[in-house]
Every structure is written in structure tokens, then in C-alpha cells.
Amino acid sequence: MSSPHFAALEAFVQAAETGSFKEAGRRLGISSSAIGRTIARLEAGLEVRLFYRSTRAIALTAEGEKFLVRCHRIFAEYEAAREEMGEVTTAPVGRLRVGFPSMGTEMMHHIIAFQSEYPEIELDLDFSDRLVNVVEEGFDVVMRIGTVEDSRLRMRRLKGFRHQLVATPAYIARYGHPQQVSDLTAHRCLRYRYPTTGRLSPWTFLHNGQSLRPELPQSAVANNVSTLLSMVMGDQGIALLPDLIVSENLKAGKLTAVFDACVYDERAVSLLWPSSRQYLPKVRVFVQFMASRLERELA
């Protein structure tokens, strides 16, 4: 991007992402003072302050945070346009911004395999349980749990997953294997809290054809399923976790399912991407690769 306007945006993004005019200048091959002057001109043109400045550090203002989201979108759209117009190779290359729920950290073996197969694709990964705005925040692909309604997005629905109540054999040996739902009141229950609402995720069971949500103890609560998995693997209790992240440990005998047949919980999982990116090679290969591996893992 040779336009002065694009150069100013690039300087801003680099400064925002590195938290340093000096580091931004090093990456762009110009001096830190040149970065500072460029940012000052940008602020003057926008008539807003983008950074708080001190002698030691810089930090984005609220306006700067909003502008950074817009800049990510501008750069992503520009790259998408270049690829669609054939101005770059049709091979899957370039930056790919992907959003995962927090449990995506347990899928790193798939992500690493993708990196090995497509080393020219630069991954920018975001792991969060917040509901991101795929288009506005400049994501190329996101994984989403649950229903999706957005006409601006394309979707690849994967095989649904369910939650499983699990513990380690060592925990079961120490505390005993629950035989019925009421037995859970005497066990160490590791609970998930939704980060968006602050509510605990209920444990739902089937009993005589009826759904049952008992009051359960809370030995620990976390808003991240990877944290709960770590505690379970450390023999600290029983947790209700997605089979996406426990299936391998169950197969290996490192985890044991606790009265699996009566756990009632199924979820849809989808890969989503903006309609404007559907023909990009990097998006296409990522969606195909992840869908194939995840569906095989859940088979």
C-alpha cells in the first residue's frame, strides 16, 4: 500500500499492536519520530486523540480502540480485493485472522498441523468466549457454538458435539464413582461460568424422560473450559466438558465418563466467514482443513 493514507493507517496499526513508536518504526523501516509525526497528523485529520502518551509508553484511547477495529477491517478488505482481482498468487498465502471460543486452545494440534501444511499463511488467532462481530472486527473465519443468524456470513456447519461429564481414574479411585445424579452432591464439581452473563452453565440430565437440573456444589468455577480441563486432569474433580476437547483423553483412558448415558446436552458448532471472503484461497483451505479434521475426530 503506497498511498500516504494507507501508510498512516499502517503506522497507526503497528504502533497500536506493539505499544511502541520505536518498535513500529523498526518494523516499517522508519524512525520512531517519523511514526510519531505520522500519528500526530492522523490525529489532527481525524480530530481525535488516538493514543495516550508518556515518556515510557503509549496506550490507545477509547477512540483509538475503535479506530483500530476499523483499520483491521480496511486492511482485510483490501487484501481480499487484491486476491479476488488476481493481483496476488492464487496459492493460499497471507494473513488469516481466526476467532475461536476459549476451548479452541485444546485444538492446537489441528492448528499446528494446518501451519505445517500451509506455512505461507500467517495465522492471527483470537481465543475468546465473547460474541465477536465477524465483519466489523475484520475476522476471516470464526468458530461459533450455537445458532447463527447473520446474512453477511457464510457457514459450514460441522457435526454437532455434546458435553460429557468426566473425571480421571485417580479421582474416581479416591472419591468413588457416582452411580446416580444425587451422588454428585458429595463430589467436587468443577463448574463453568459464562463470561458474557456471569451465570453458571447448568448440568442437565435425563431422568424418566424428564430433564433434571440439580443444585450442585462448586469446588471451583472458571470462565474458561481449558482451565477446567486442566483441573480435571489434575485429579481435582468432575467437570462437564465438550467432547471436542475430551474425546482423545477418553479414548486413551486418561479420563472416565461419569454416567454418560443420562447427560443431556447437544450443541451445534459452525465455521463462519464473511461473504466477501468466500473465494479467498486461504479461507477456503482453512475451512476445509479444520472441518475435515474436527468431523473425523467427532466420528
Q: CATH code for 161-267?
A: 3.40.190.10
pTM: 0.61
Position 298 scores a pLDDT of 64
Cβ–Cβ under 8 Å, residues 255 and 249: yes
Domain extent listing, the chain: 1-88, 161-267
Highest mean pLDDT among 12-21, 132-141, 196-205: 12-21
Q: Which of 155, 214, 166 is nearest to 190 (CA)?
A: 166
Q: What percent of the chain has pLDDT over 90?
A: 50
Q: Summarize the confidence of residues 2-10 as an average pLDDT.
A: 81
- Residue of 274 and 98 predicted with greater confidence: 98
Is CATH 1.10.1740.10 the classification given to domain 1-88? no
pLDDT tier, 261 (very low <50, low <70, confident <90, very high otherwise): low
Position 73 scores a pLDDT of 85
pLDDT tier, 113 (very low <50, low <70, confident <90, very high otherwise): very high
Listed in sequence order, the residues at least 6 apart from 91 whose beta carbon sits closer than 8 Å to its beta carbon are 120, 281
pLDDT in tens, 162-181: 888 999 999 999 999 998 88
- Count CB-CB contacts under 10 A for residue 217: 12
pLDDT tier, 62 (very low <50, low <70, confident <90, very high otherwise): very high
Position 170 scores a pLDDT of 98
Position 87 scores a pLDDT of 46
Position 66 scores a pLDDT of 93
- Residue of 39 and 85 predicted with greater confidence: 39
Position 248 scores a pLDDT of 86
Position 151 scores a pLDDT of 65
DSSP code at position 103: G
- Residue of 114 and 268 predicted with greater confidence: 114
Listed in sequence order, the residues at least 6 apart from 181 whose beta carbon sits closer than 8 Å to its beta carbon are 205, 207, 212, 214, 259, 262
For residue 292, CA distances in Å to 96, 154, 271 come to 19, 17, 12
d(CA 210, CA 262): 10
- Residue of 258 and 208 predicted with greater confidence: 258
Helix (H) or strand (E) holding 273: strand 269-274
Asked whether residue 102 carries a pLDDT value surpassing 50, the answer given is: yes
Cβ–Cβ under 8 Å, residues 222 and 228: yes
